[in-house]
Structures are given as C-alpha cells and as structure tokens.
C-alpha cells in the first residue's frame, strides 16, 4: 500500500456501490446489508489510512476476507475484494458498503412519560442504557439558577440580620430610657437588678419569637406559591424548607435578640433607685 498518503479513513468510505463498476478479485459480492467490499486501486494497492483502519500490513485475501470491521460504530464483514473497471474509481481505494444498514439500526428513542412518577420509573429501568434526559437537564439548570439566587439572598439576609441586631439594640435602649421611672418604682418595691434585667430580656425574647413565627409563615407562603408555579410547568416542587434550617433560624433569632437586648438592659438595671426616680 502507499506510504505517502495519510488521509482520514472517512475519505475512503463509498456508499451503495454498483457491481457493474467493479471487477471481483476474491470472495463474493455482498449478499447481506452487513457485508462490504474492499476496493483496490489500479495498482491493486490501498491507501495507508485504509490499511491502518483494517489493521493489515499487506493485502492477503485469506487475511482480509470475512474480517469484521466497524463502520460508524456498526459491525460489518468484508465479503470480497474488488478493483474498478472504469476511469472514475481506478485511482481510488477504500471500503464499499450499503447505506441500508442504517435503516435497520435504531439510533435513538424518544420517551415521553405521562407524569413525574412515570418518569422516575422509566429512569430507573434505563439506568443500564445511554440515555439523555432533557427534562432532567432543564430541572438541573433551574435548580442551579435557584441555588445562585439563594446565595445572593443569603448574603442580603446576613446584612439584614446585622441591621436587625442594631435596630433591636436601639429600640431596647429607647424603651429602657422611657421606662426609667418604672424601673425605679420596681426597685423601690423590692425588685433586684437581676429581676429588672430579666424583665427586659423576656420582652426581647418574646419579640424575637414572634418575629421568627412571622418570618416562617412568610417563607412557607412564598415556597408554596413558587412550588405551585413550578409544579404546573414541570411537575416538580423545587423549594423545600429543611427542618434543620428552621431550627437554625430559630436559634439565631432568639440568640441575637437576647444579645441585642442584654447590654442596655444590664446597664439600666444597675442604676440606683434614687437616680431612676429623679430621671426626667
């Protein structure tokens, strides 16, 4: 075969050959769609790329005939060796096969499940096959988009959390200043500094708990509205409030509310009775 040519093998695949253009040198003409012919040029040689494709070093009919090869991932058998008897193919070498083999080959199947549960069952049955799930791709893209938005919202939530702590501290401090005389009266009646501090901290904890309940209700309502929308569009709920997240939010709310109210409550509770009663 020629050593000076190294073209891709696809340049030497010829479809639907007609027997009248070729002369049989060995073997037989294809009797089945999965059989093909090896074409030699006028010098009874083949190109280097064809030889490499067939994994042969020289043209020996005993080696070539009935050899199985893959053409576009389809297994075919070499049934014969031919040479061109006209001017068009005389300088060519390659592989001659029948394109009807692709009519018998199922390359892809489209499956449209009637609901999401059917989709899950089909997906389980197709685990051993090479399957492209368009709906899953769409869902993954949607989830990634929602996740990206969630990260942004988390960042804003932390900022809002810091602002909330500052505002709670300010509100608690103002509330304490407005009730200084009330604190003096309580102390004159026997209340200790610890009792006064507990009073304000208890009020803060109640405010924090009510804020948690209010926030949780808003989140559940928002999740329900979004899930109703996505369920109608793709048959899937994409949002879910994890119980661990709920506990974390509750813990942070109560803790930060307590911390925000502790300093002003502690400062005021240590005031002397006479100072609180004189406060204007």
Residue 1 has pLDDT above 50, yes or no: no
Give tens-digit pLDDT for 18-44.
567 778 888 888 777 778 888 887 777
97 burial type by CB count under 10 A (0-12 exposed, 13-18 middle, 19+ buried):
buried
Domain ranges of the chain: 9-103, 134-278
58 φ/ψ angles, rounded to the nearest 5 degrees: -150, 160
161: closest CA among 100, 248, 102, 95?
248
**CA of residue 262 relative to chain centroid, distance:** 46
Query: Given this model, what pLDDT does residue 6 score?
Result: 34
**CA of residue 266 relative to chain centroid, distance:** 51
Calculate ∠ Cα 269-270-273, nearest 5°: 85
- Write out the two tokens for 40: 């030699």
* 96 C-beta neighbours (distance < 10 Å), count: 24
Q: How confident is the model at residue 274 (pLDDT cuts 50, 70, 90)?
A: low
Of 36-40, 108-112, 127-131, 136-140, the least confident: 127-131
Query: Given this model, what pLDDT does residue 219 score?
Result: 79
136: closest CA among 148, 124, 128?
124
68: closest CA among 46, 38, 93?
38
What is the 3-class SS of 22-65, one letter each residue?
A: EEEEEECCCCCCCEEEEEECCCCCCCHHHHHHHCCCCCCHHHHC
Q: How far apart are CA 68 and CA 48, in angstroms?
A: 19
253: closest CA among 217, 201, 205?
205
Query: Given this model, what pLDDT does residue 216 score?
Result: 81
Query: Given this model, what pLDDT does residue 102 score?
Result: 54
Give tens-digit pLDDT for 61-98.
677 788 777 766 677 788 888 888 777 766 777 777 76
Give tens-digit pLDDT for 254-269.
887 787 777 777 776 6
Q: How far apart are CA 162 and CA 105, in angstroms?
A: 64
Q: How far apart are CA 73 and CA 26, in angstroms?
A: 26
Query: Given this model, what pLDDT does residue 135 score?
Result: 66
**pTM for the whole thing?**
0.41
* Residue, of 59 and 53, whose pLDDT is higher: 53
Query: Given this model, what pLDDT does residue 134 score?
Result: 67
Query: Given this model, what pLDDT does residue 207 score?
Result: 80
Q: How far apart are CA 114 and CA 6, in angstroms?
A: 52
Ranges of H-type helices in the chain? 48-54, 61-64, 116-125, 134-178, 180-188, 193-234, 243-269, 273-278
Question: In percent, how much of the chain has pLDDT > 70?
Answer: 74
Give tens-digit pLDDT for 169-215.
787 777 777 777 777 777 777 777 777 778 777 887 888 788 888 87
């Amino acid at each position: 075969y020629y050593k000076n040519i190294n073209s891709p093998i696809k340049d030497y695949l010829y479809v639907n050959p007609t027997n009248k253009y070729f002369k049989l040198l060995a073997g037989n003409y294809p009797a089945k769609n999965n059989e093909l012919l090896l074409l030699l040029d006028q010098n009874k040689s083949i190109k280097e790329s064809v030889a490499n494709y067939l994994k042969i070093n020289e043209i020996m009919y005993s080696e070539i005939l009935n050899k199985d090869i893959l053409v576009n991932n389809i297994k075919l058998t070499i049934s014969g060796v031919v040479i061109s008897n006209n001017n068009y193919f005389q300088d060519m070498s390659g592989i001659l096969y029948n394109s009807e083999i692709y009519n018998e080959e199922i390359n892809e199947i489209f499956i449209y499940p009637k609901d999401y549960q059917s989709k899950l069952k089909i997906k389980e049955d197709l685990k051993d096959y090479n399957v492209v799930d368009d709906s899953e791709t769409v869902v993954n893209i949607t989830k990634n988009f929602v996740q990206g938005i969630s990260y942004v919202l988390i960042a804003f939530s932390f900022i809002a959390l810091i602002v909330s702590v500052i505002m709670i501290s300010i509100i608690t401090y103002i509330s304490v200043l407005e009730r200084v005389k009330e604190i003096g009266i309580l102390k004159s009646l026997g209340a200790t500094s610890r009792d006064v501090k507990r009073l304000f901290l208890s009020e803060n904890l109640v405010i924090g708990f009510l804020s948690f309940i209010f926030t949780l209700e808003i989140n559940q309502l928002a999740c329900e509205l979004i899930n109703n929308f996505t369920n109608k569009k793709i048959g899937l709920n994409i949002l879910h409030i994890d119980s661990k997240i709920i506990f974390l939010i509750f813990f942070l709310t109560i803790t930060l509310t307590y911390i925000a109210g502790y300093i002003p409550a502690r400062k005021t509770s240590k005031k002397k009775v006479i100072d609180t009663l004189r406060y204007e």
